[in-house]
Amino acid sequence: MQRRTFLRGTAIAALATVPLSTSMSVDASAADTPVGSLAELQSAINGAAPGDRIVVADGTYTVPAGGAIIVSGKNGTGAAPITIVSKTRGGAVLRGERGFVFANSSNITVSGFAFRQSTTTEIPANCSSIRLTRNDFQHADTGDPYWLVVRANDTKIDRNHFHDKTTAGIFLVVDGPGSTDMAQNIHIFKNHFSDHSFSGDNGGESIRLGVSGRALSGAHAVVEYNLFERADGDPEAISVKSSDNTIRYNTIRNSRGGIVLRHGNRSRVEGNYLIGGIEGVRLYGNDHLIVNNYLSGLSGRALVVGSGTTRDHNSGETQDERRGNDACDRAVIVHNTLIGNSGTLSGETRTYEPRDVVIADNLLVGDSGSLVAMGVTTGFTWQSNMVWGAAANGNIPSGGFTRVDPKLVTGPDGVARLSAGSPAIGAATLPDPGVADDIDGDSRGTTRDIGADEYSTAAALRHPLTSADVGPNAS
């Protein structure tokens, strides 16, 4: 039985067929200032006012050594930003040591450039409301290890493509002012991160959201609708090292890296697809919600409830202590589907065991090994999980699951969902964890189903992302 039809907007599909170098010319308007040289560009920026749009002609612009494109003391408004845009997406190519350098500016949009420089692009803490959209990032591998560093509040990074890095370093870093604070309200969405092939053990994340010294600072960042493909530079494709963040509706496909809440508290990991790679979701710290995620075909550990070298991070600890693992306490892991992974749900063996974690209404399916292989735990609640397949149950407590065929059917998008008559329908028992819908966007209602999918005959509103859904030509 086919439950849903896999749909993708025809407009998005059409955009994907347009070559980046020639796509989507900027429509002219009275506020446009066309420029065709670095000198003209700098002059136009210096004289820009709210609502102005500077349109850079297609071509290659090599910034001289020691030079930069300076955006300093320029302030648009929320309704009328200052926009610097390539005439066609990817048509204006920036080479040399350095590209844009921002200072004391706000409400600036930079759109459509191909960044081919060797020095980090930084959005410093003395700026706010800077937006980088529809750009193509491929910095020189021999240059700075970080390609884009964000320290300013209310920054938007959307519809960009970060790709083809072979050395240590990170595509996108979010930090903040000083040594302990985080930039606030960063929005990272509809970006494409691909082909990070650094083969070292550590240091090649696609996104690093914070760092150990900032772990206790709430960032309130939202990372959503991004696609990660062949993100192989680190076991952590999305590395969260701060607090109060939302990681949702992303797709990580055929990648070494997964989603890791490495440091920090109170983050939400929701509605993500991790398919056909190695690592899944791993969590440390306190009070996280892990909900509606679909993890399938992973050759490493799918879902890890981490132990710690310390019980809790705190403001008085040493730098070495802060770098250690903080045991996972009081997480709620609910409505996730784990299918066909080498390691389904597991723990670790550090000194401080995870405590008071709720694991409920999850669907665990596998044909080899053990579905659950937890280390020492304290105060765990196991409730109404469903397991199936030739894999052993493992050490899941007998009262915390039922073993029954969930009657899954794989749709044309490759996702296995509940079919009519599945015993998972209406079988969830955990009091509402504050989840309005399922991974597809279907309403959970008052009687919820086990796993990431709520049975419905309607077409899915969300699905695993493809390259047509993200990057410079995305809707």
Do the beta carbons of residue 326 and residue 310 sit within 8 Å? Answer: yes
Q: What is the dihedral of CA 88, 93, 98, 103, to 10 degrees?
A: -10
Residue scoring higher pLDDT (24 or 397): 397
Specify the pLDDT at position 31. 75
User: Does the pLDDT at position 2 exceed 50?
Assistant: no
* Residue at 322: amino acid letter: R
Residue scoring higher pLDDT (122 or 4): 122
- What is the arithmetic mean of pLDDT over 356-360? 98
Helix (H) or strand (E) holding 106: strand 106-111
Write the pLDDT tens digit of every residue in 75-106: 999 999 999 999 999 999 999 999 999 999 99
- What is the arithmetic mean of pLDDT over 377-404? 98
User: Does the pLDDT at position 112 exceed 80?
Assistant: yes
Residue scoring higher pLDDT (101 or 200): 101
Please state, rounded to an integer, the average pLDDT across all residues of the chain: 94
Write the pLDDT tens digit of every residue in 296-330: 999 999 999 999 999 999 999 988 888 899 999 99
Helix (H) or strand (E) holding 40: helix 38-46
Please tell me the total number of residues recorded for the chain in this structure.
475
User: Does the pLDDT at position 18 exceed 70?
Assistant: no
Question: How much is the pTM?
Answer: 0.94
Check the CA dihedral 35-38-40-41 and report its sign.
Answer: positive
Query: What are the backbone dihedrals phi and psi of residue 108, each rounded to the nearest 5 degrees, phi first?
Result: -115, 135
**What are the angstrom distances between the C-alpha of 211 and each of 21, 173, 235, 269, 313?**
36, 9, 16, 18, 13
- pLDDT band, residue 26 (cuts 50/70/90): low
What count of other Cβ atoms lies within 10 Å of the Cβ of residue 197?
Answer: 14
User: Does the pLDDT at position 23 exceed 60?
Assistant: no
- Which domains does the chain possess? 10-469 (2.160.20.10)
What is the spatial distance between Cα 354 and Cα 111, in angstroms, rounded to a whole number?
Answer: 45
Do the beta carbons of residue 24 and residue 91 sit within 8 Å? Answer: no
Residue scoring higher pLDDT (407 or 9): 407
Specify the pLDDT at position 8. 32
Specify the pLDDT at position 5. 36
Specify the pLDDT at position 458. 93
Do the beta carbons of residue 438 and residue 25 sit within 8 Å? Answer: no
Write the pLDDT tens digit of every residue in 264-303: 999 999 999 999 999 999 999 999 999 999 999 999 999 9
Specify the pLDDT at position 27. 63
